[in-house]
Chains A and B, each alone.
Chain A
């Protein structure tokens, strides 16, 4: 997603180094490697001040809980039990989980690329009516809670699902349901990352190759593909990361047969209470995610090679010729079948009561019910979710904003790059581990948050922060430091200059970041399911609870609640699409 394009279009890649004194446009009088010592010290101090809060936040609410739970699992009688690791990894059942986690992630990634790359081209280079709306529509799944994605595919492919009714076909017992749900979920990642760059590549580069004698295919292969390659790699890595750590989707669609590491960690922790095994699996997942992020960082750096970028509006054209029309048609068909249909079926199921179509299931959400699974009416989950998500958004904006401000400052060394990577880790580390870690670490003074409502927003903010950083960083980097200098010379103090120059330029990006953090917090499931109090469920938790019970009423209510959750997410996304800046297009 996401993690990538910012670095591509950052004008900073080759632009003048704004902190380097005198380094003007014409090839600086001073190079960045020769920085006055005093200035460097001052900047170092400023950066540290900016980093302090994010570092404390991540240490307290991420590193400590995760370390505590791993420690608890691997320590017995005060001694480390590293033998556990080989023991667990030698277990054939665990081996099976590892194997499945890996191959389903690879298969999901390949399938997503195969299906979404033509889509990336169509959205980047072709102009057709309704394109903006459709682009927003394909992005909706990405911010949908995984639980809702699982539910939608259950309604489409599962028992009594649409395919079951029409042709008696059920896929929920096969791996295809998981793979297709992953494609549904990650389609936007590829379209946004690859398509975003594709739409900005100067078509004249390809034209130059054509004039020099390259065929259409050769020009694409020799000029466009190498330029896109790193973006494709980054998108593939992100899809792999998301599917490798998939929880909600597999939890709902996997049944007893299919289990990813994350699901297994949940099962070992919550159902079997086998902490040592869960700890080992957490470490394995941590190592795998670390490796993926390292590769990702490497591709990002490679992508910083200078690309000639142009305004996307100039590159899109109406489709010409049969080939392009067929391509457009098939992409639209895929979008309709794979993205719009599951969403539609979900909505349809929520309205399809035994007494005909109506809002029966929605009304039922207002009752506490007699099934014992809810202490409060499920409808209250909406209020809880909104409150938690708002608080989480505020936390993520502060933490992520400060971190991005620190990272946006010049002279990024090895230390800062590892700080950058640290911020991404929560995306990949088992949310279940984090949630459970919260319970065992934040339960005693001075930090006893067990009964505090803030526990849930803190966990959700952990997932929202990486998005805030990714959105804010390129925009902050793009602010020309000399604008700030211009303000200073005109009499603005540093704080005033920031308010007058930076803030107006990043305000929209801040809104976009807030929206994403909100949507992601709203949908967070893995950690929330552990720490949300039974009388204060969030929407995804309530949906999962309803799905876990038998009976048409529960199922219908789950669909209704999912629809509500989807609408809330989609509305916040559509609002974002309207205020989106041309710079902020990486999501």
Chain B
């Protein structure tokens, strides 16, 4: 459906997109994940035709889009802050794309009703957009983008401005909606939870380049680089020397998965792969802080040597701050990272 081929956009000296190659298959939901400034919004604008390319190509359905103006690309784009037309009511917003395509009034009305049902706002046609809550505006924006049945739907921080519970609910709704409609979706977000919940495939971006591509599970379990690991919120990243199945780290010897690259590497120790044991059975640490995280407790531990260590444990087993614990590492929770 969508293919980016060496897409490059430069703002002055800085490349917002640096020779990006990306493909989105039909009916696939791809989520571009990255911190602000990584070029992910520029990526959407390039596909939409709102931002000219300095080099490379954008192909939609196999056709090069160079020279095709924005309004002829037949895409849907849901803006970060919705950009609903303030002077039109809900129906006027949803029907806009249909009107531009010359749909009849009856067609428009039918499609608007259908979409408002779909997004869970039945009968909202005559409401003023200013009177809608954030979540409702979100739904109207989605209905507006979907109404002309775009071949590719793009979402810019789709749930960014909503509160947490609403977000979690909408992610589920969106996912089932896209599955039901068979829509091809390209979304960008800085929120990993959103990306992992929404996407078939996640693309992590950094400084205009793609840092990693994979299913949510792959990316989460095997971050490709220190950047990706840290962006996902992992903090136990240390230099290490791998010899055979063991790595020497500031925290002592740690087992690594079989077949790991040898020599000087960066090592990620996922908190989930760290077990708490009695002090004498592992690396002795002092509990510095503990944070309640719902179904588990996150711990910050200070070992005798080396940087602070992040670990987690069950609610019931959580040690007090100031108490001493031992730490043991499992090879399954250790990831050898590629060079950045």
Residues of A bordering B, CB below 8 Å: 21-22, 24-27, 29-31, 33-36, 38-39, 480, 482-483, 485-494, 496-497, 500-501, 504-505
Which residue of chain B lies nearest to A23 when distances are taken between CB atoms in the complex?
A: B41
Partner-binding segment picked from B42-50, B167-175, B216-224 = B42-50
* Interchain CB contact (< 8 A) of B75 among A22, A34, A489: A489
* Interchain CB contact (< 8 A) of B12 among A29, A34, A497: A34
Provide a sorted-by-A list of 6 A–B residue pairs whose CB atoms are within 8 angstroms: A24-B36, A25-B81, A29-B41, A485-B50, A488-B49, A489-B75
Q: How far is the CA of A26 from the CA of B75 in the complex (A)?
A: 24
Contact indicator A492/B100 (Cβ below 8 Å): yes
Contact indicator A29/B42 (Cβ below 8 Å): yes
Q: How far is the CA of A89 from the CA of B192 in the complex (A)?
A: 75
Known: A21-B51, A36-B11. Is A29-B70 also a contact (CB below 8 A)? Answer: no
Known: A493-B69, A504-B87. Is A22-B81 also a contact (CB below 8 A)? Answer: no
Contact indicator A490/B45 (Cβ below 8 Å): no
Contact indicator B37/A29 (Cβ below 8 Å): yes
Residues of B bordering A, CB below 8 Å: 9-14, 16, 36-42, 45, 48-52, 54, 69-77, 79-81, 83, 85-87, 96-97, 100-101, 144-145, 148, 156-157, 190
Interface centre among A27, A33, A39, A483 (most CB of B within 10 A): A483
Contact indicator A491/B71 (Cβ below 8 Å): yes
Known: A31-B11, A34-B12, A491-B74. Is A483-B148 also a contact (CB below 8 A)? Answer: no
* Minimum C-beta distance from A495 to chain B (A): 10
When distances are taken between beta carbons in the complex, the residues of chain B under 8 Å from A505 are 86-87
Known: A36-B11, A489-B48. Is A22-B16 also a contact (CB below 8 A)? Answer: yes
Contact indicator A36/B69 (Cβ below 8 Å): no
Contact indicator A30/B96 (Cβ below 8 Å): no
* Minimum C-beta distance from A497 to chain B (A): 8
Q: How far is the CA of A492 from the CA of B69 in the complex (A)?
A: 10
Contact indicator B77/A489 (Cβ below 8 Å): yes
Which residue of chain B lies nearest to A488 when distances are taken between CB atoms in the complex?
A: B70
Known: A36-B11, A36-B51. Is A501-B85 also a contact (CB below 8 A)? Answer: yes
* Interchain CB contact (< 8 A) of A36 among B39, B54, B72: B54
* Interchain CB contact (< 8 A) of A22 among B41, B71, B77, B87: B41
* Minimum C-beta distance from A108 to chain B (A): 42
Contact indicator B83/A485 (Cβ below 8 Å): yes
When distances are taken between beta carbons in the complex, the residues of chain A under 8 Å from B70 are 485, 488-489
Contact indicator B80/A25 (Cβ below 8 Å): yes
Contact indicator B77/A486 (Cβ below 8 Å): yes
Q: How far is the CA of A38 from the CA of B51 in the complex (A)?
A: 10
Known: A29-B36, A30-B11, A36-B10. Is A490-B97 also a contact (CB below 8 A)? Answer: yes
Contact indicator A34/B14 (Cβ below 8 Å): yes
Taking A21-B51, A489-B75, A490-B145 as given, write out 18 further A-B residue pairs in contact, using a Cβ cutoff of 8 Å, ordered by the A residue number: A22-B39, A24-B41, A29-B16, A29-B36, A29-B42, A30-B14, A485-B79, A487-B96, A489-B70, A489-B71, A489-B73, A489-B77, A490-B97, A491-B100, A491-B101, A493-B69, A500-B85, A500-B96
Q: How far is the CA of A30 from the CA of B100 in the complex (A)?
A: 31
* Minimum C-beta distance from B186 to chain A (A): 13
Contact indicator B11/A493 (Cβ below 8 Å): no
Q: How far is the CA of A496 from the CA of B77 in the complex (A)?
A: 18
Contact indicator A22/B79 (Cβ below 8 Å): no
Q: How far is the CA of A199 from the CA of B209 in the complex (A)?
A: 49
When distances are taken between beta carbons in the complex, the residues of chain B under 8 Å from A480 are 83
Contact indicator B36/A26 (Cβ below 8 Å): yes
When distances are taken between beta carbons in the complex, the residues of chain B under 8 Å from A24 are 36, 41, 80, 156-157
Q: How far is the CA of A505 from the CA of B148 in the complex (A)?
A: 24
* Minimum C-beta distance from B298 to chain A (A): 26
Q: How far is the CA of A491 from the CA of B11 in the complex (A)?
A: 27
When distances are taken between beta carbons in the complex, the residues of chain A under 8 Å from B48 are 485, 489
* Minimum C-beta distance from A483 to chain B (A): 5
Q: How far is the CA of A504 from the CA of B10 in the complex (A)?
A: 35
* Minimum C-beta distance from A486 to chain B (A): 4
When distances are taken between beta carbons in the complex, the residues of chain B under 8 Å from A491 are 71-72, 74, 97, 100-101, 148
Interface centre among A24, A33, A500 (most CB of B within 10 A): A24
Q: How far is the CA of A262 from the CA of B97 in the complex (A)?
A: 57
Q: How far is the CA of A130 from the CA of B36 in the complex (A)?
A: 51
Which 3 A-B residue pairings sit nearest by Cβ, starting from the closest?
Answer: A34-B11, A491-B100, A34-B12
When distances are taken between beta carbons in the complex, the residues of chain B under 8 Å from A487 are 85, 96, 100
Contact indicator B80/A493 (Cβ below 8 Å): no
